[in-house]
Amino acid sequence: MTPAARIQTAIEILDAIAAAAREGGAPADAILAEAMRARRYAGSKDRRAIRALVYDVIRAVRSAPESGRAAMLALADAQPGLAALFDGSAYGPAPIAADEPRAQTGVAAEALIDLFDPLVGEEEHDSLLARAPLDLRVNRIKAGRADLETLFPEGAPIPGAPDGWRLPPETAAAQHPAYAEGAFEVQDAASQYASAALAAAPGQAIVDLCAGGGGKTLAIASLTGNAADILACDTNRARLQQLPRRAERAGATRIATRLLNPGQEVAMLADWQGRADRVFVDAPCSGSGTWRRSPELRWRLTPARLDRHLGDQAKLIDLGADLVAPGGKLLYAVCSIIAREGRAQVADFLNRHPGWTADADYLPGGVGRAAGAGFLLTPAHDGCDGFFLARLTSPC
């Protein structure tokens, strides 16, 4: 393909990604993969170049653009070499007309920036979209951190994460045979800090209420040395059904899964009411802390979608609290930097539940900043995804 043809292809893919973002359709990665399958004539170099162009545009443009071309033109304005390829050649984009619309660039729409936690100042905005490193977490059931150091000598320790090992973004760690053997998982440091913050111990009964594919469930199993009973729940069958296979690989034998029907969670967890020593509520959220990996999430967030997340979070934190035994703990977490999903959600919970208290001092030194009754982690301050977490103790 010519460089101009690659640009036109990227524009067409961006059209599909923008439409899916508006309509809540497939994620950008899935659309890209499908688009490449449909263009068998594209070689591997073409594919790499098109993918890089698409993601450069997504990172540059602050919200879902009206067209892929308007989005590409916003990038071309900052890159004369790219603008020069709008030359009308065969399969390439048409020449740029006077006054053609451009998508707006920036970290996010102003209305969305206004929702950031007050700790996230303008000086942190660029880091929200910078490329993330690849963090590994050793699985204590099968290996030790020293094994990661031997397997990937190019890596480095992660401050405050004794099981973590940080690699450059491109590293194909999951292709290593040790991954298939369950020695480690790919897991951002923020998730490692959150899993450790649950302070789970061998012999405890633990509920991971929003377990998804089980990333943090497996971290908890590792931290407890496979010596605690963990019930992993979710309403999403496709995600939850990944967990038994992953648990088997990890040698985590004490994880049970329970698929919940939306709206029937309370009844389906009646046998766990007031029984859990630890409950993890890793609630569904905007994902605004993960734009480094999924920059297209900021194209997807609408006020209506945010309201839906806020309602779900309030419901899930209350549901989780009902499962906690007297004196037990609940960890509420969201991969978000939006104050209403983090500190405000926990303040509302504490108002609704007199007797519950917020813990302090459960993060490693230097990690996180106090944000209301919880803590905020950000890429700029903590080198990990943006994350809010709060550990709460139930009255005895």
Ligand X SMILES: C[S@@+](CC[C@H](N)C(=O)[O-])C[C@H]1O[C@@H](n2cnc3c(N)ncnc32)[C@H](O)[C@@H]1O
Name which of 53 and 323 has its Cβ closer to ligand X.
Answer: 323
Active site residue 335: yes
- Please choose, from the candidates 182, 177, 149, 176, the residue with its C-alpha nearest in 3D space to the C-alpha of residue 163: 149
- Determine which helix (DSSP H) or strand (DSSP E) holds 5, and give its type and residue range: helix 3-23
Q: Which listed residue (2, 89, 236, 393) binds ligand X by CB under 6 A?
A: 236
Q: From the CA atom positions of the chain, what is the Rg in Å?
A: 22
Q: Which listed residue (67, 104, 235, 302) binds ligand X by CB under 6 A?
A: 235
359-388 residues in contact with ligand X (CB under 6 A) are none
Q: Which amino acid appears at position 137 of this protein?
A: R
Name which of 56 and 312 has its Cβ closer to ligand X.
Answer: 312
* Shortest separation between residue 222's beta carbon and ligand X, angstroms: 13
- Please choose, from the candidates 77, 84, 85, the residue with its C-alpha nearest in 3D space to the C-alpha of residue 60: 77
How many residues touch ligand X under the rule CB under 6 A: the total is 20
Name which of 108 and 297 has its Cβ closer to ligand X.
Answer: 297
Q: Is 77 annotated as a binding residue?
A: no
Q: Which listed residue (134, 209, 306, 331) binds ligand X by CB under 6 A?
A: 209
Name which of 114 and 307 has its Cβ closer to ligand X.
Answer: 307
158-197 residues in contact with ligand X (CB under 6 A) are 191
Contact between 109 and 368 under an 8 Å Cβ cutoff? The reply is no
Q: Does 249 bind ligand X (CB under 6 A)?
A: no
* Shortest separation between residue 129's beta carbon and ligand X, angstroms: 20
Q: Which listed residue (57, 128, 161, 210) binds ligand X by CB under 6 A?
A: 210
310-339 residues in contact with ligand X (CB under 6 A) are 312, 316
User: How do 324-334 and 276-282 pair as beta strands?
Assistant: parallel
Cβ neighbours of residue 84 closer than 8 Å, sequence gap 6 or more: none
Mark 250-289 with x for binding to ligand X (rule: CB under 6 A) and - for no binding: ----------x-x--x----------------x-x-----
Q: Which listed residue (213, 328, 374, 379) binds ligand X by CB under 6 A?
A: 213
Neighbours of 42 (CB within 10 A): 19
Could you say which of 285, 335, 384, 396 is catalytic? 335
> Considering only 9-17, 66-74, 227-235, 366-374, which stretch makes contact with ligand X by CB under 6 A?
227-235
Cβ neighbours of residue 70 closer than 8 Å, sequence gap 6 or more: 100, 101, 102, 103
Measured CA to CA, the distance from residue 228 to residue 220 in angstroms comes to: 9
- Please choose, from the candidates 355, 335, 341, 346, the residue with its C-alpha nearest in 3D space to the C-alpha of residue 373: 346
Measured CA to CA, the distance from residue 330 to residue 109 in angstroms comes to: 33
Measured CA to CA, the distance from residue 342 to residue 237 in angstroms comes to: 26
102-161 residues in contact with ligand X (CB under 6 A) are none
Q: What is the DSSP string of 110-154?
A: HHHHTTB-TT--GGGTGGGSSPP-EEEEE-TTT--HHHHHHH-TT
Q: Does 233 bind ligand X (CB under 6 A)?
A: yes
* Shortest separation between residue 29's beta carbon and ligand X, angstroms: 16
* Shortest separation between residue 232's beta carbon and ligand X, angstroms: 9
Tokens found for residue 258: 């329970």
Q: Is 277 annotated as a binding residue?
A: no
Q: Does 242 bind ligand X (CB under 6 A)?
A: no
Cβ neighbours of residue 148 closer than 8 Å, sequence gap 6 or more: 136, 138, 155, 165, 183, 184
Q: Does 212 bind ligand X (CB under 6 A)?
A: yes
Name which of 73 and 316 has its Cβ closer to ligand X.
Answer: 316
Alpha carbon of residue 119 to chain centroid: 20
Q: Does 239 bind ligand X (CB under 6 A)?
A: yes
Which residues participate in the annotated binding site for S-adenosyl-L-methionine? 234, 282
Which residues participate in the annotated binding site? 234, 282
Q: Which residues are catalytic?
A: 335
